[in-house]
Structures are given as structure tokens and as C-alpha cells.
Amino acid sequence: MARPITLFTGQWADLPFEEVARLAGEWGYDGLEIACWGDHLDVWRAAEDDAYVKSRLDILEKNGLKVWTISNHLKGQAVCDDPIDERHRGILPDRIWGDGDPEGVRQRAAEEMKVTARAAARLGVNTVVGFTGSAIWKYVAMFPPASDDMIAAGYRDFADRWNPILDVYDEVGVRFAHEVHPSEIAYDYWTTVQTLEAIGHREAFGLNWDPSHMVWQDLDPVAFLWDFRDRIYHVDCKDTKKQLGNGRNGRLSSHLPWADPRRGWDFVSTGHGDVPWEQSFRMLNAIGYDGPISVEWEDAGMDRLRGAPEALEFVRSRVFDAPTAAFDAAFSSTD
């Protein structure tokens, strides 16, 4: 059976959940990767209120959709981040921000990530996608120099904050899939290795594979799948187009807004960028990934009402099941 193709609702949280479900159902998506912001999913209510859980599932069923994954990137970001500042105030609800005291924000965000696991279990979902935040992303330029001890302290901070969260995930039978992404504790290949080592490779913590963040860093997203094949817990399909090579556009993109032609790269609708999708889908078959393929639609230069159904058509035309028998099996003979 073909893997389900879902739509991540994070970029649609300005619309009511019922409207997003209606659109996705009409376009032919199999389900939603539900974001835990906007009115799409309140994890506190989902963790405690049977009627609320039923209301979410009823909306999905009405539109011919299912849910395999929920995502809580915004609260996860605040668990480890340092500094906590006005950027976080813009993405966090009042219950997490509180009085803005940084450590209080981190602690409240950690509690919400625990509740997110309980909400997922009550929805019948076994994977939560999200961010971790990072106390050491601020050192990424390496000047003024950051010592080895400073970097090691950042990984210890991550482990100290996330191990108690992951204990709850183990308790309720849910896995956390960290999206490897700049500004997180794991943002490229080697930081992913260090992150997994920091928490002792515990099974509750895996990876959300989103190649759009790898392409502009010149990482091989296909090799990443192979090397971390036992940790690929979820897949997001988002694309990136590089605009380097003219001697002006830089890889760090100069604080320019999305879709500015002076950027060195930009997120684009799936199929319009530089991600090697066919090789990626073949590798997903090779490593035995059988979970959902989720379209995370981001493209500042395209209307989303065109882009989301087009992305679905692109992915569906290229995701194919692995063969049930070797192609050369017909050559053998018992005669």
C-alpha cells in the first residue's frame, strides 16, 4: 500500500482547522500533520477533554482525512533557546511566555512538550515532530571564539532539559522526531551525531527528515537518510532553490526577506527546487520507511492555493512502493 501523503498545517494556521481540512480533502490529501497552534490543536484540551479529541477526529473523518503526526515546533523551540527574547514573544502564547523571564519560559515550554506527547497518544498518534531550541546556536559563527567546554555545555543543557520530556514520551508510547534545522541543537550532519550521543541514542528521540534545510548547506539529503536510517521517524517534503554563483548572493542570505532575488537560497514549492526527490524516495524505500510523506508547503513567490495541490500531484507521481520481488527473479528457472 502506498504511503499516505499529508499536508502540514503549520503554514495554514491563519485559517480555521475546519477550512484547512476541507481544502486538503478536496485536493486529495490522505491526512494532515496537525500543527499545535492557531485553532488547529490545543494540546492541553486534547490531553484532558474526550469531547475535544472527538471533535478533531470528526473533522478529519468528515473530509476523508486521517492523522499520523502532530507537530509542536514553536513550543519546542523555547525549551533550550538562549537568548529568549522578543522573537519568542512573537511565536509563543501567553501561557508559555508568562512574565517573559527566560528560565520560566523554558520550563513552561518543556511542560507543554510533555503534554503534547499525552495529546498525541489520545489522538492515536505515535509521532510528534518539532524543534528543540539550542543554547549554542548563537556560537555558530565561532567568533568571538567558543571553547570546547562551552559547546559541550550546550549539549549537556539539551540532554538535561529533554531527557525528562522524553521520559513522558516513553511512558505514553510516542516518539519525538526532531527536525534537523538551523537554530536547533542538531542542524547538520555532525551536530546530529553529537545530539544523538548526548542523550545516549534513546529510542524516544529520532529525526524528522526535511531536505530543504540540507540543500542550502550542501549536505547530501540522500546520504543522510542512509546514515540515520534507524532514526528517520517522519518525512517532510519541502524544497529549496539555491541562487548562488553570481558573486553577490551569499549562503547566509544577508537578512533579506523570503523571495528577495538577492538571497542565496529560498524555500520553494515541492518540485521547484534542488532537492533530488527521486533518489530520496528510492532511499526511503531502501531503508524501509513506511510512514507518511508530509508536504510542508512554503514558497513566498507562489500562491499557496495553487502550490499545495500541485505539490501533492508532484509527490504522488514520484512516491512508489518498493517492489515485492527482484526484477531478475523471472530469469531463474527450476527446469
DSSP structure string for 214-271: HHTTT--HHHHHHHTGGGEEEEEE-EEEE---SSS--TTGGGPPTT-TTSSEEEE-TT
Report the predicted TM-score, pTM, of the whole model to 2 decimal places: 0.95
Query: What totals of helices (H) and strands (E) does the chain contain, helices first?
Result: 13, 10
Instruction: Give the tens place of pLDDT for each residue, 154-178.
Output: 999 999 999 999 999 999 999 999 9
- Tally of domains in the chain: 1
Instruction: Provide the pLDDT for residue 323.
Output: 73
- Residue 69 forms beta bridges with which residues? 33, 127
Mean pLDDT of the region 200-228: 98
CB neighbourhood size of 285 (10 A): 15
- Mean pLDDT of all residues in 244-254: 95
Cell 541562487 belongs to residue: 243
DSSP code string of 33-91: EEESSTTS--HHHHHH-HHHHHHHHHHHHHTT-EEEEEE-HHHHHHHH-SS--HHHHTT
Burial class (CB in 10 A: 0-12, 13-18, 19+), 318: middle
Say whether pLDDT at 1 is over 50.
no
Domain holding 241, by residue range, is 5-331
Question: Is a pLDDT exceeding 80 seen at residue 83?
Answer: yes
Q: What is the CATH number of the domain that holds 114?
A: 3.20.20.150
DSSP H or E run through 213: helix 212-215
Task: Answer yes or no: are the C-beta atoms of 156 and 135 closer than 8 Å.
Answer: no
Would you mind telling me the total number of residues written for the chain in this entry? 335
